[in-house]
Structures are given as structure tokens and as C-alpha cells.
Structure 1
Amino acid sequence: MDPQDTIGFKRFAILVGINAYSEKPLKACVRDVKRIRAYLDELSPHVDTTMMVAGGSDVDVEPSDPTGYSVNWPTVKNVLAALDRVNSMSKAGDFVYVHFSGHGTRKAPEDEFSNQSTGDLALVLCDDEKRSAVKYLNGWQLAQSLKGMVDKKVVVTLVLDCCFSATVYRKDDPEVRFLQYDPNIGLDDSTEYQGHAGSEDDTSRHASMLPNWIMNPDGYAILSACGPHEEAREPRFDGENCGALSYFLLKALSSGNVAATHRDIYAYIRAHFKKSNIPQSPVLYGNRLQAFFAPPMSDNISEIVPVVEKRGDLQLQAGIAHGVVKGDQFLLSPLGSIDLGSESQPGSTIAHVTNTEAFVSSLELLGPAPISVKTGWVARHLTRHSLRKFPVYLDKKIPEQEEWGELLRKRSLATATDHPFSFNIVLNGDSDCEILDEQGRPIPNTPTIALNDRKAINHVCDTVGHLARFKAIETLSNHTMPSSLRNPFRQSFKLHLSHISAGREATVDPGQLTEVQDGEWIRLVLLNIGQECLYTYVYNMSSDWQVENILRAGYETIPPSDPDAKFGGKFEKRVKFTVPLEEKEKGYMQCHDVLKVFITSRPTSFDLLELPKLGETPKRVSTSFDEGRGNGNYGSDGWEAFEFPVRIYIPALLP
């Protein structure tokens, strides 16, 4: 965000907490938002806060005049009115924080924009006329109310401390923040459904669990208490029941800074969920690199991983599936650190990986450590041993080869004196430097760099480092899982691409080349034929050397098929492929991409794999997700990675 845009910024908060449900009343929701209100009231500049609560005793009190309900009673109309008020008062650069603590629900998918895998979300609010009754606020209505703020570049944060879990349809637990959907309960009809406001060309406007989410993912962040198949509970902290998400969010804000990014706060929260063994997986959607409630403290956008401390042992929340290798080094820093890119940052320390598992790794501090690393610290990669599999050969004409070797080693790259190698740095003429592949061919979309100074040498080494990371991601696969566990997991799903070719629908299996015309759509189809939830992550590895999360919600949950609930069992994602405009302008008629798909037995985060286009800095867009408890029969560590090579071509014009 441009600092010019935040001069004189304002802050708004809308807090909604409901205990007073006649069916399955809750204990901690009002306490959640009152604690957050107390924290916000101490902030400077002032936060314009609207709080709507319904305590346990309120449900038994009926007003003599139903039309005289207080504007602070948490009804659908009052919540929408509060959002409209904030929208009318806010301007670009302002900050809006919306927090809901209460029951969630979900209904079976009803239209083409519904989430067919998980059903549609609704929040359970109070009725406008009878306090003991409830009314639903559809997810798409909430989205449309927030859309006006997002469109004018207000920074929006939505926190949902509720759940909408399929598993609780068959349970009766008073501490679970979920009510079964009742089709006889009214929905608010004050807002007409406008469908999906995003362009059909935008493959990133997709958020699993949140139906019909129509906002630009660059402009908002959504923090949810759990995934769509899990339960948001009210465990006891400090002797009192609290919503787990609300409790750890307030703890993060109090120990950090409201200018910390959502990424940092989320890393802190998920680490504490992990340490506390709470069977929920908080989920972050949207722009993880905007700040929570103030302009960001730093523009540093290095990918980070949370750290958990248990009885002196440090556990990194990433492992073999993420490309972490024994011996890798990480910089560990506390929440809210100003510069995660500095290796000499005060208050930080360096650790290396001593053991790796599928989704986690063990860390050990290097040398004497006067610093005490705590749960909620974050780790940033310093060295990546996986890149040594892609050695670099230096043309004999290149001077100062020892200096080159040292610069490459700083980027975790090894040098080769002969074949085999993955990259060949050669001189064309006296100073022009070019990067070739192992067969001596120029690597597409890489620059020729004039070696005028040390900065140019660093540029070449950075380029090779980027290419090596891309290649490491492309070749990442599961070779360590025992076949006794891997085979049952692999047999629990079917994965393929589907597209229309020569007037007929063609099915393409992983590893097979798909040829599509420029601008053509294909479908990614995943069938869950097992008995446990699956999680899928979809990345496009493009011809301009970018690795992009095209779900933008990080992962999609695919529950087993549930005929009673009318969802689950199948995931479909339409993806549009095009030849990049820059390549078209150069006269290129084709390019090659790779669709990389990960499937796991429990939710995790693959943010470490994301790469910007070659020569660019990462965008402030993406998502992160937690490593929840494994609930399958695959040792809780089942995972597979698949590649779909895609050739995109522009048809030749007929004479």
C-alpha cells in the first residue's frame, strides 16, 4: 500500500457475539467480542466500533414493541445496516475489521456458483421480530455488503469464529458452534442475489467453504476458525470458556502489533492451535500480506513457516512434502519482526533441520542460543539443500570463477566441472551472459545479461536460483512413504483433466501432455472414492517461471460423498490457459505450462512453493492453511504430487 494512501486513515470494527440461541446456546461468544472490544478501545488512533451481542439471559426477554429493537441486537438487518454505515463512511486506505462469534450453518449447494464439495455457508443471527428465533445471513449476502468497501480499496478483515461442519450433523455437542440447517427458517430477502460478480476469466476468484465469494482476493482477508469439515469449539483458557480462534487472535494482537500482516498473525495462531492440540485447523483466505489494522510494518514478503515449541523441542510446520531437506537452515523470528529478510536481525536466531517427516520437521538451534524460541515464532528459509540436485556449469571464459562459485553457494546452488549439470552459464561475446539448459539450448524467457559489474553477476545468480527452485518444485514427488500406506491412500481418489478436443470430451491422466488452444478452458476433476476427507492444492507453473496458487484459497476440501447432505465426493475446477501477452508481442505462437496438483490426507500449507514471475517480486496475494490433525487411515501423512504438462498454442491463421 502506498504510504500516501494511509495518511489520516480511519479504523472501523463491527463485532457480533451471540450466546442466546434457544437451540444449543453457547457460553463464550459474548465474552469473545467484549474482550476484543476492550483491546480495540485502547488503540490509537481511535477505532469506530459497533458491537452487537445477545447474552444467555436476553433470549427470555421479549420487548413489548418488536419494532423498537435496539440497533445493537445482532439481527440480519442490523448487521447489514452496520456494514452499510461503515461503507458510507470509509474511504480508500481505511481499515475495517468484522468479527463474528456464534453458530454457523450450511445448506446443500443450490446453484452453479455454490461450492459443490462442501455446501453453502450461512451465519446464524437473531430474528428481527422474536428474540428466541433465529435467521440466516447467507455468505453471498455478507460478501456483497463487503464488496463496496473492497472495490474502493478499503482494507477489509473478516474473522469467523464459527463452524459449518458436516460431521456435526450427527452430533449433539453444546460446545460446537454449529446448528443444523433448517429450510423452514427465514433468510433475509433485503438483498437480491446477483450471482458471481467476478469475471469468468478470473480463475482466482474461488474460496473453498465460502460460497459465492465475489470480492477481489487482493483486497480482503478472511480468517476462519476451522475447515468446512471441522468443528469450532469453546475450550477453556485461563479457567473460562473461549472461542479458540478469538482467544489466540487476541493473544497474537496483544503480543504483536496491529500492523503485523495477516500472514504473521495466522502463523502465530496456527502454531498455538498445534501446541494446544485443539482439533481445529484455522484457515486464512485472501490477501495474507495486508496488515491487520494498520499500514504494514514492512514490505518484506518472504515466505514463512510457523514454529511450535514443546518441552524445549522445536518443530517446523513444513516437511518432505514441501521440499524441506535435512540440513536446511532457517531464520527464526518472533511475531511482528520488522525485517524478516535480514539474517542479522536483533532478536532472531538461526536453526537447521535435523529430521524431516511428511508435513513437519525437527529444528535445532545453531551454536549457543541465549534467545528463547517460543511457539508462534516464524521461520524463513536461508538455505535449501534440495537445490543441490541441479548443479550449475560455468563457461571457462567467465572470469573470477571462485567468486561466482561463492555467490552460487550462497543461493544453495552447487557448481559442476563437467556433465551432468542442469544449467550452463555461458558468455556470448565479451560480456553478454546467457543461461542454457543441460542440452545447451537457451532457456526460454530468460534474459541475456551484460556483465558490467557485481550487481549484474548477482542478477545472473538470482536468475539461476529462481530456475532451480522452479525445477525442484516441478520434480517434487512422494518417494519416501511406505507402499503399505501409500497404496491405500493413492487408491482413495481418482484425478484427471477433461476438455473438449475435436468436438469430443477427452480425459487426460497425470503425466500426459494436454494441448489446448489459446483461451481454452479445461476442467480439473478429483473424485474422492474413499472414506476420509481429502485436501487438494492446485498450482500453475507457467512459461514465465511463475508458480501460482490458482485456487487462491490454498486448498479445497473434498469430503467423502454424502447422499444425505447432497454434497461431497467430487471436486471440479475450471482453468483457462492463455499464451502470455508478453510472449504474443514477441511473436511466440505457443508456450508450455505445468499444472501441479498436491493431494493430502490432512490440511497443510504449500506457500513455500510459490514463486513470482522471473525478475519480479511476489504479489501481495495468496493464502495459508494449517496442518490439522490427520483423520484418515494413512498414518495421517498421506500425500501425492501430480503434474499435467500443458501446451498452449495459437492456431495458425488460414490464408
Structure 2
Amino acid sequence: MRNDSSIRFLEYDPLIDAAYPSSHEQYLNPIYRHIAVSYDTLRNPSGYTIITASGPHEKAQEYDFSNNEQYHGALSYFLLKAWKESGGPAVKQQLIYQYLSTKVRKTCLGQNPMCYGTNNQGFFGGVLTGINQTSILVVRKPDKSIQLQAGHIHGICDGDQFSLYSFGDINPESGEPIIAEVIYVRVLVSDLKLLNIASTQVRTGWVATPLTRLSLRKFPIQIQPDAPYLVHWETARKEHQSFNIIDRSQTPEQPPFFLVIQNNENGYDIKDESSTVIKQPNTIYDKRGNPSYILDIIEHIARFKLVKNIVNEALTDPIYPFRESFNIKLTNSIGKDFYPGCSQTGWFQPGCSHLECSVEIKDGDKLYLHVNNKGDYDLYIYIYSLGPFWNVENALSANYVVISSSPMYNVTRDWKKELGVEASDDIKLQGRYQYEEIVKVFFINRLTSFALLELPEFGKPMKGGRFCTDRATGGDGPSENWAAVNFRIRVSSK
């Protein structure tokens, strides 16, 4: 590696390193909110972002961009390019990272930049306000077709529509939007058809924001027959075209997942599939009588349920090959093992309500996640916490973790990390409490992003929006193999 002219490095003296040994565990002291993976301070920075040119076990290359035998670091080159095209360094760090990482992967094969820490602020303070929701990378293929870098695993459906705009368009609401529709969904990517312009205008690096999410139709909604303000309900329905709203005069083919009924306070209650009334978030202005607000609440909960229910149904077949590619478990502080899913129906189920299938812990306790790669290809791991306030948060202070298929650079097939658990301040105010969280782990043999699935706490805005753009990769590996498992964690006050 050190004889490669495209690689910059610092001389390393192992004698100095050996003279000052350190324990990794002594640095594992972050402040937790819900469930999060513990990292050392360098890779779990608070209030700032670290962007690296490559993953921890990859070569960070230089490239001759001008074909004049002058080599430059790919990270710095594309960072400057991203600033120029996005309107300056006030653009969100997450957007900058995703743009330059796409360019680096295309230029330097096998090199995948990483992002650690806080990524929703600008490089030098405030951020521009144009891009304010989750966006997904668009790629133009060699055959000039347009591909969305999200697929079935992200909840994309045939017929979903998106608004497309260039990375440099920091005010995408200006001008006529470019509309695209999904015509074919794969596991990690989807083919798009442009509805109002020629595809030659779209380039790799453009982004898409969702206009419809037809996967939400899995959760039918019925409105109470005598609900007042019918005109307002019709307006709200047009604003939420992704929903399957059952007409008041219809007899539903299946029981509704959500039932909206009028209450005695000139507002509406929302009941779930078990007829439990869902507690609505407090607002400065009482919006509980606003039909559009009610449907916004239902959309948030439905999106949470979609994430919770993501599983690869093919893995319920006991002879499906990818089942044998990995092993996973949680252990508590005394070494007791816990496995995902349900003890009766198996690992690869969204979950159950059996008490014996949950992991019982006290607030502040530690859990340890163990993953073993038993397959022939590198395994990409993504970890999410599904919290008690209908929130879906990345539990890693990084995009993902890669577990190598073959030991190299002192890396083994085994990966172990500490999970810190601490209740939020809102829960602690209750005194004695018990609540449930879900740790959801995705296993994939290719690179992707799950930022599209993230949700803020109920009633709170997303922190600056996210950018779902890690391009699906895989080299010469097999077709996409993936799995998703859930651990139910029951947390009690001490």
C-alpha cells in the first residue's frame, strides 16, 4: 500500500503505539437518548461532523482529475465542488457528504467516504433553508434511464411519484417541478419514468423528494360517518393522496387500521387497530379539530409501523441461503443471551407481544450487540432505534458498519458493540415508568441508506431534513440479499 503513489500516509512506528496501550472501553462514556451504540469520543462527536475520505479498512486514493499527472485527494476536490454547486458552505453537512461520497465512489472504485457525528448543521454555522425534507439520490444510467436509489426495502411502491431537482437548486419550490413516477421496484433501487420533461435533462447527483407514499395504503382509515366539516375533510383527503381512506358509505373489505371519531371537545380521537385511543401531541394552538392535522398524525404513526414491519419474508423459509450468512444476539451485563423476533415464530418476524420474547432491563443498563458474518461477502449493518414517541433514529453515529467476510487489517468476522440505554427527560418526569423500544438491525450485502425511514419524535419536526443517497453498490457480488430483525426492549425505572 505504501508503494502506491496515489496513497498519502504518515509513517507509523509500532514501538510508540505499544509503549502507550489504551483500553477502548475507557472512552465509551457518551450521553444517551433512547438506545444508541457506544463509540469513542472521536467517532461520536457532539456538535460537529467528521467526514473521512474512506471507510476504516479501505484505501483513501488520490486522482489525476486534470490528466496532467497532478494527483489530488478525492475528498477535498469533491468537497470544494459540492460547495460551489450547492450555494456555499452553509448547506447542511449531510447533503455535502452524500453528494461528495457519490462522486468519490464513481471516481475511486472501492472507496466509500464515512460520516460521523452531527450532520444537520452547516459547516460554518447556520444552514440554507431550501432543502428541508428527506431527499433521495437519482442516478442516470449508461442507457440514459433514471434510477431512484431506494427500493422495496425502503417502502417504495410502483406508482409512487417524486419531485426531482438538481443538487444546486436550493429552492426547489421555485419554477415548474419535474415529476417522476416509479415504474419498477427492486430491493434497493427503483426505475423512474419522467412525466413532464425529457430524461436528458436529469443527471446523476439530482435528488428526489416524495410526493406520494402508496405503501401507507396498507393502513386503511375510516372516518366516523357523522363527522362534521365534510368540506374540510374532503380538502384534507386531497392533501393526503397516499392514504386509503374508506368512504363513510362504504363497507370496508378489511377492518380499518385507524378509526377517526368525533369527541366531546369539538375535536377528533384516533383509535388504532386494537381500538386504543392514540394520545395526540400537545400543541400551542389546538389543532385537534383540524382534519389535515389529524391525517398528519396518522401518517406519522403509519410510517413508524411501516418501519417496524419491514422484514424479508423469504427468510421465513428455513432453507433460504441468506439465513446462514450471519448470527446476531444481544447480551446483558451478566451475559444472558437474547435473540430477535419471536421465540415461537422465529427471528424474521416484525415482532410479537409475548413478554418472554422481550429484553427486560433497567434504565441506564448496558446491552451488548454481537454480530458474526458467516457468509462469503462483506456485510453492511444498519442499526435503528424505534422509540416510545413514534420516533425512528439512527442508533449509530455513522452511516453503517461493515463486517468483513475475510479477516484482513486485523479485522475479524465478529463485531461487538455496547448499546447505551437512557430514558428521555420527558419519560423521567413521570417518576416511575416503563416503556418499550425496538432495536431494528438491517443486514445487506450491498451499500444503501435508510435515512428515508427516519422519523422525529411525535409532534416534533425533523432536524433539518435528511438525505437518503448512499448509492447501492456491490461490485461482483450476488443479487441483493438482506434481512431485518427486531429486538423488543422493555425499559423500567430503577
For Structure 1 versus Structure 2, the TM-score category normalised by the shorter chain is 0.7 to 0.9
Three-state SS of the structure 1 residue aligned to 2:298 is helix
Contact 1:316–1:360 at 8 Å: present in 2 too?
yes
Give the deviation of 1:381 after TM superposition.
1.5
CA RMSD of aligned residues (A): 3.6
* Candidates 537, 542, 549, aligned match of 2:382: 537
* Candidates 104, 109, 115, aligned match of 1:284: 115
* Candidates 151, 154, 163, aligned match of 1:331: 163
What is aligned with 1:87? none
1:545-583, CA deviations, whole angstroms, 9 ceiling, x for partnerless residues? 110111121211112362x75432222232233454424
Q: Structure 2 CA distance, aligned partners of 1:187 and 1:584?
A: 44
- Pairing 1:488–2:332 present: no
Q: Percent of aligned pairs with the same residue?
A: 31
What is aligned with 1:523? 368
Distance 1:489 1:232, change over 3 A: farther
* Candidates 255, 258, 263, aligned match of 1:428: 263
TM-score (normalizing by structure 1): 0.64
Give the deviation of 1:331 after TM superposition.
1.6
1:314-463 equivalences in 2 (<5 Å)? 314-340=146-172, 342=173, 345-346=174-175, 348-369=177-198, 372-401=201-230, 403-408=232-237, 410-411=239-240, 412-416=242-246, 417=250, 418=252, 419-443=254-278, 445-447=279-281, 456-463=290-297
What is aligned with 2:60? 232
1:594-605 equivalences in 2 (<5 Å)? 594-605=438-449
Distance 1:370 1:280, change over 3 A: closer
Q: Structure 2 CA distance, aligned partners of 1:481 and 1:239?
A: 49
- Pairing 1:475–2:306 present: no
Give the deviation of 1:237 after TM superposition.
3.0
1:296-315 equivalences in 2 (<5 Å)? 296-298=127-129, 300-311=131-142, 312-315=144-147
- Pairing 1:295–2:139 present: no
Give the deviation of 1:198 after TM superposition.
4.1
Distance 1:565 1:470, change over 3 A: same
Q: Structure 2 CA distance, aligned partners of 1:556 and 1:368?
A: 39
Q: Relative contact order (C-alpha < 8 Å, sep 6+): which is higher?
A: 2
Three-state SS of the structure 1 residue aligned to 2:483 is strand
Give the deviation of 1:262 after TM superposition.
2.1
What is aligned with 2:492? 649
Q: Structure 1 CA distance, aligned partners of 2:239 and 2:302?
A: 13
What is aligned with 1:18? none
Three-state SS of the structure 1 residue aligned to 2:393 is strand
What is aligned with 1:498? 331
1:453-507, CA deviations, whole angstroms, 9 ceiling, x for partnerless residues? 79833221111110011011111122479979x933221110112225xx66243
* Candidates 249, 253, 257, aligned match of 2:79: 249
Contact 2:386–2:393 at 8 Å: present in 1 too?
yes
Three-state SS of the structure 2 residue aligned to 1:213 is helix
1:301-354, CA deviations, whole angstroms, 9 ceiling, x for partnerless residues? 4111111123432111111121111211112122233345x4xx3274221111
What is aligned with 2:351? none
TM-score (normalizing by structure 2): 0.83
What is aligned with 2:394? 549
Distance 1:497 1:197, change over 3 A: closer
Q: Structure 1 CA distance, aligned partners of 2:19 and 2:164?
A: 48
What is aligned with 1:26? 5
- 1:337 aligned partner, one-letter code: D
Q: Structure 2 CA distance, aligned partners of 1:432 and 1:424?
A: 14
- Pairing 1:609–2:453 present: yes
Give the deviation of 1:544 after TM superposition.
0.7
- 2:59 aligned partner, one-letter code: E
Contact 1:198–1:214 at 8 Å: present in 2 too?
no
Distance 1:346 1:282, change over 3 A: farther
Give the deviation of 1:585 after TM superposition.
3.5
Q: Structure 2 CA distance, aligned partners of 1:455 and 1:333?
A: 35
1:107-126 equivalences in 2 (<5 Å)? 124=10
Three-state SS of the structure 2 residue aligned to 1:491 is helix
Contact 2:149–2:471 at 8 Å: present in 1 too?
yes
- Pairing 1:222–2:50 present: yes
Q: Structure 1 CA distance, aligned partners of 2:118 and 2:468?
A: 10
Give the deviation of 1:608 after TM superposition.
0.5
1:368-417, CA deviations, whole angstroms, 9 ceiling, x for partnerless residues? 45982222111112211111101111112312346425524533211124
Give the deviation of 1:280 after TM superposition.
2.4
How many residues matched? 468
Q: Structure 2 CA distance, aligned partners of 1:405 and 1:508?
A: 46
Q: Return the index of the structure with the highest Cα Rg.
A: 1
Unpaired segments of 5 or more residues in structure 2?
A: 343-356
Q: Structure 1 CA distance, aligned partners of 2:244 and 2:67?
A: 55
